[in-house]
Amino acid sequence: MTAYTPSTSSHVLDANLGQSTEQAGLGASAALAAGRGRAISAFRLWLLGLVFLGLFAGIGAKIVYLAVIAEARGPLKVIEYTLGGPADEHRRSRIEDRNGRILADNVYRAAAYANPSKIQDLDGTLNGLAQIFPDMDIEELRQRLSDRDRSFVYVRRGLTPQQEQAVWNLGEPGLDFLSEQHRVYPKGNLTAHVVGFNDIDTAGLAGVEAYFDKSLQQGVAPLQLSIDVGIQHVVAEELAAAIEHFEAPAGAAILLDAHTSEVLSMVSLPDYDPYNPASQSQAQLRNRASYEIYELGSVFKVFTLAAALESGAVRLDEEIDVTGPMKIGWHEINDFHPHFGKMDIKTIISKSSNIGSGRMALRVGNRAQKRFLGSLGLLSSAEIEVQEVSVPRYPGTWKKIQTVTISYGHGLATSPLQVVNAFAAMVNGGIYRPATLIKRDPSAPLLDGTRVISTRTSQQVREVLDYVVREGTGGKAGAEGYRVGGKTGTADKPSSGSYNEDARIASFLGAFPIDDPQYVLLVMVDEPLPQDGTAGYATGGWVAAPAFKRIVERTAPMLGLQKALPDPQESD
Amino acid sequence: MIRVSYILWLAFFMALIIALFQVKYTVQQVGERRDATIRQIEETKERVRKLELEWEQLNQPLRLTKLSQDFLPGFKDGEAGAIAPADQIPVRPENLRPVAYLTIEEPEQTFTAEALSGDESQRAIGSLRPIHAPDLLKAVIAQQSKTFSLE
């Protein structure tokens, strides 16, 4: 066993060397050994110096790199990270209209909370809070704050800075604040049925807010809708005027881009206050544009006409016998204004003959009619980006009588949005594209869509719709300076297994400019009443067509449409 | 010689220590300044966000329509002829004078309108009309003070 021997040398190796020197007893050897020892020490010192030098050189190089080279390349990564998205990661995304106008956004606001176990002066605190929040139920709060086992009780959320300061000034150590997100809807009721609303924890409960809830929660880029706030205002104002004038309880109007199917305006009246949906009535909360389903009546004759022309069942220059009543089994079909003898196709649509429409549908056949309506999305729920959509209602057995009634819009209940979406395909050259509330990139190519009718059929449908406004029931839709085409609709509302003649849906479905449709618009008024000057009528031609006219006259310049050139037919 | 090198090394390390000390505290200060700047930027962004929302609130179409009806009786919706290709717009006459302009008066910072006297036919050429900016501005300010504020 070798024992460690203490030595004067500072190192074991030196001690070993000293021992060997002692053993050899030679002075030269000792000097040599001492020289080697010094050399080794010096070598170690240099080595250590070099290691430190290397380390500090590395640090210095990194400093130079960060300060000079990386700085020149751009901001430091840590700053970029802090200033970029991650800081806003938990903020619910903004919702904008197609022009960047804000429809919904989150701001931080204070919420006051209490820790009951730390409250020192309960009565003084409650008195102070009662003065700051006169509407607060102080007794209810007293009960909650008296529970000393609780450590967290909300006092009031969504405080204004003034309220926050006032609560702070109470000086109560048991009160404190949280910073919470608060959803703001700057356009209020105007876009409520489209945008929807959130609960107090900013989770979407209706409209686009609910449909895109998850992606909005992720807080990425703003969600840009296809809605145009200016257009929405005009449509809402004119629809409200029609509803008021005809003492109707409700109505809806939708303006769609005829080619892209972007929804520029979707109005359902009455609307609601998105800040306080819980206190609104069911009538206000019901979305009549996309959720409620209606039998919209004669506007469906447009689809019957298109199906008949497309299938070759009728020609535009053909005449059909419209003498009534038309009997299907024990059912009798009559026209609002009875006609006798034959009538050409244009007149059947422009005079809105149920019998003529029914005969066209019978020629098409029930299977082809059902297939055609299905291809227009009228037999399945709408593919629109709001929570409020519903499934159309149609008969389980689609026989002869159903074919006839559906040809003029009775027996098939769909949402107004689906009808205007299908109508766009009738006038835009024959391509169906599902309606969307999301703004389309104008530089991106159009979606392919589905061809449902030929361009020739679409052209013929436009001719007929033009004729309806010039010569038929849609005369009051004729807008000053613009060529419009469309179809009126007046439908009795279903009631207890039959139809109620005193409760009607009046609508007008049209396109403008009709020679090259860019936009389609549906105006629908629920249960209008006849007024002075409407000759006792409350039909689509009297109620919805004038509103349609005013909306076109006001929105067409906003949409950049030029005034129509004088019509060569009129000048002849 | 070795002792000199020791001193040099010692001096070198001392210098390094001082330099590192300086760098450390400089970095700390810069970090604090950066954090403060980031906080300030976030606060400013939040403030801008609230101002944008207030602006949107003030620009509700219904409110603008009402203000326009009350104070700009000559203003009305665009008409069918309002949109035309550039080549169809008539050339502006050289002698056409403006019918109204706005000035900012110091130090009150209020707008005043002054209608220039001019030929009525010239006024009719454009759709400009003399406007009473002080009244309009007072009304806007009054309305804003009633409007819900996020701040």
Contacts of B41 in chain A (CB under 8 A): 83
Pairwise pLDDT comparison (A297 vs B120), residue with the higher score? A297
Contacts of A229 in chain B (CB under 8 A): 61
Q: Which of A104, A204, A180 is nearest to B52 (CA)?
A: A104
Q: What is the pLDDT of residue A509?
A: 97
CB-defined contacts A:B, below 8 A: 81
Closest-approach residue (CA) in chain A for B12: A53
Greatest CA separation for chain A: 147
Closest-approach residue (CA) in chain B for A104: B53
Contact A233 B53 (CB under 8 A): no
Contact A233 B23 (CB under 8 A): no
Q: Which residues of B touch A (CB under 8 A)?
A: 2, 9, 13, 16, 20, 23, 34, 38, 41-42, 46, 49-50, 52-53, 56-57, 59-62, 65, 77-85, 149-151
CA dihedral angle for residue A380, residue A383, residue A386, residue A387, rounded to 10 degrees: 40
Contacts of B62 in chain A (CB under 8 A): 190, 233, 237
Contacts of B65 in chain A (CB under 8 A): 233, 237
Tell me the shortest Cα–Cα distance from B101 to chain A, in angstroms: 26
d(CA A110, CA A178): 6
Tens-digit pLDDT profile for residues A12-33? 444 444 454 455 455 777 778 8
Q: Which of A152, A60, A87 is nearest to A114 (CA)?
A: A152
Enumerate residues 6+ apart whose C-beta is below 8 A from A164.
A110, A112, A177
Which regions of A18-64 does DSSP assign to beta strands (E)? none
Tell me the shortest Cα–Cα distance from B114 to chain A, in angstroms: 30
CA angle, A215 then A218 then A221, to 5°: 80
Contact A107 B57 (CB under 8 A): no
Contact A107 B83 (CB under 8 A): no
Contacts of A556 in chain B (CB under 8 A): 80
Domain ranges for chain B, please list them: 1-58, 61-73+95-146
Contacts of A108 in chain B (CB under 8 A): 46
Tell me the shortest Cα–Cα distance from B106 to chain A, in angstroms: 32
Q: What is the mean pLDDT of residues B124-142?
A: 51
Contacts of B53 in chain A (CB under 8 A): 102, 105, 107, 184, 186
Crossing angle of the two packed helices A366-375 and A301-311, in degrees rounded to 10: 110
Tell me the shortest Cα–Cα distance from B107 to chain A, in angstroms: 30
User: Which of B42, B83, B150 minimises the CB distance to A557?
Assistant: B83
Q: Which of A197, A231, A236 is nearest to A95 (CA)?
A: A197
CB atoms within 10 A of CB A460: 20
CATH top-level class of A233-273+288-571: alpha beta
- Please name the amino acid found at residue A552: V
Contact A186 B56 (CB under 8 A): yes
Tell me the shortest Cα–Cα distance from A82 to chain B, in angstroms: 8
Contacts of A160 in chain B (CB under 8 A): 149
Tens-digit pLDDT profile for residues A465-480? 999 999 989 999 999 8
Which regions of A7-159 does DSSP assign to beta strands (E)? 95-96, 102-114, 153-159
Q: What is the pLDDT of residue A23?
A: 54
Q: What is the pLDDT of residue B101?
A: 55
Contact B42 A87 (CB under 8 A): yes
Contact B83 A79 (CB under 8 A): no
**Interface mutation vs chain A, best among B30, B62, B67, B88, most A CBs within 10 Å:** B62
CA angle, A276 then A279 then A281, to 5°: 120
Q: What is the pLDDT of residue A161?
A: 85
Contact B56 A481 (CB under 8 A): no
Contacts of B20 in chain A (CB under 8 A): 59
The percent of residues in chain B predicted with pLDDT above 70, rounded, is 62
Q: What is the pLDDT of residue A74?
A: 61
CATH number of A89-225: 3.90.1310.10
Q: What is the pLDDT of residue B115?
A: 40
Closest-approach residue (CA) in chain A for B17: A56
User: Which of B41, B82, B151 minimises the CB distance to A557?
Assistant: B82
Contact A49 B85 (CB under 8 A): no
Q: What is the pLDDT of residue B133?
A: 54
Contact B46 A562 (CB under 8 A): no
Is the pTM higher than 0.80?
no
pLDDT beyond 60 at B25: yes
Which regions of chain B does DSSP assign to beta strands (E)? 100-105, 110-115
Contacts of A562 in chain B (CB under 8 A): 83-85
Total residue length of chain B? 151
Closest-approach residue (CA) in chain A for B56: A186
Check: CB of residue A320 under 8 Å from CB of residue A368.
Answer: no
d(CA A473, CA A337): 11
Q: Is the peptide bond prior to A513 cis by the omega test (within 30 degrees of 0)? A: yes
Q: What is the pLDDT of residue A5?
A: 42
Q: What is the pLDDT of residue B87?
A: 76
Q: What is the mean pLDDT of residues B49-78?
A: 88
Closest-approach residue (CA) in chain B for A233: B61
Q: Which of B6, B19, B30 is nearest to A56 (CA)?
A: B19
Give every residue of chain A whose pLDDT is below 70, as ranges: 1-26, 71-89, 566-572
d(CA A279, CA A273): 9
**Interface mutation vs chain A, best among B26, B60, B76, most A CBs within 10 Å:** B60
Contact A557 B77 (CB under 8 A): yes
Contact B46 A108 (CB under 8 A): yes
Contact B60 A563 (CB under 8 A): no
Contact A102 B53 (CB under 8 A): yes
* Tokens coding A364: 């098409």
Q: Which of A548, A406, A421 is nearest to A473 (CA)?
A: A548
Contact B60 A101 (CB under 8 A): no
Q: What is the pLDDT of residue B69?
A: 87
